[in-house]
Structure 1
Amino acid sequence: MRGACRCGQVNYQVKSQPLYSGYCHCHACQKRNSAPCVSLFLIQKSQIDISGNTATYHGKGGSGKDLIEHRCDSCGDALYSDITVLDNVIVCLASTLDDPADFKPEGHLWVSSRDPRFDINDDLEQQAGPPMQMMPYLAK
């Protein structure tokens, strides 16, 4: 899988299958992206090559733990985040993929904070909080 920002200054190539792919409904994602949810995938840092310059913003993720957001320092597109609650894992926004068909969602996260005006009309798994599949990657 490959992806980039709109201006093409920041590019990435994913070298393996994501650890998890889905839709996040947490308040942090809603505010960061001005949307009721975002499509994302989680990947080990060693399994993605990123080139280009990013600007960072330090905030909190849905877990309340530190989150470092990376945006293209030219066009401003959000691309990925370092989430300190997980060890050596980053979250990439699937909207930056070159081929949207590469995004294969497994479920919905943080549905406990879902925008009540947004209906979920698919059969994907729904989790009230973070993806339980990521428990082995919790930072020590």
Structure 2
Amino acid sequence: MHGACRCGQVRYQLKSLPLYSGYCHCHACQKRNSSPCVSLFLIQKKEIDFSGKTSCFSIIGGSGKEMIEHRCQDCGDAIYSDLKVLDDVIVCLASTLEKPEDFKPEGHLWVSSRDPRFEINDDLEQQAGPPMQMMPYLAK
């Protein structure tokens, strides 16, 4: 699997399949993308190679811990976020995948923050908060 920003200056290649893929309904994702939810995947940092230059900024995420967002410094596309609540795992936006069919969602996250005007009409698992699959990666 591989992806890039719109202008192609930032590119990435996955060395393994993501740890988790799904749709996030948290307030941070809603604001960042001006949408009711975001398609994303989580992967260990050592399992993805990046090229190109990003600009970064830091905010405090819903966990109360720092979240560093990386965007293409040329076109401004959001590429990935480094959530300090997780050890050695990053969150990539699935919209940057070059083959959209590579995105295989497993569920919906943070449905407790879901925009009530947005209906979920699939049979994917729904979790009120973060994916339980990520518990082994929580920062200590």
* TM-score under structure 2 length normalisation: 0.98
Between the aligned partners of 1:16 and 1:61, the Cα distance in structure 2 is 27
Is the contact between residue 28 and residue 60 of structure 1 (CA under 8 Å) also seen in structure 2? Answer: no
- Return the alpha-carbon distance in structure 1 between the equivalents of residues 79 and 96 of structure 2: 7
SS of aligned partner of 2:98: coil
Deviations 1:78-131 (A, max 9, x none): 000000000000000000000000000000000000001100000000000000
Give 3-state SS (helix, strand or coil) of 2:28's partner: helix
Could you tell me how far apart the structure 1 residues matched to 2:108 and 2:62 are?
Answer: 13
Partner amino acid, structure 1, of 2:77: D
Partner residue, 1:83 = 83
Identity of aligned residues (%): 81
**Structure 2 residue aligned with 1:110:** 110
* Corresponding residue of 1:60: 60
CA RMSD, Structure 1 to Structure 2 (Å): 0.6
Gaps spanning 5+ residues in structure 2: where? Answer: none
Distance 1:78 1:122 in 2: 26
2:136 corresponding residue in structure 1: 136
Q: 5+ unaligned residues in a row in structure 1: which ranges?
A: none
3-state SS in 1 of match to 2:3:
strand
Structure 1: 4+ residue segments shifted above 3 A: none
Residue 61 of structure 1: how far off its partner (Å): 2.3
Count of residues paired in the alignment: 140
**1:18 paired to 2:27:** no
Of residues 44-53 and 61-70 in structure 1, the stretch that sits farther from structure 2 once superposed is: 61-70
Counterpart CA distance in 2 for 1:23 and 1:60 is 20
Query: Normalized against structure 1, the TM-score is what?
Result: 0.98
Equivalent residue number for residue 6 of structure 1: 6
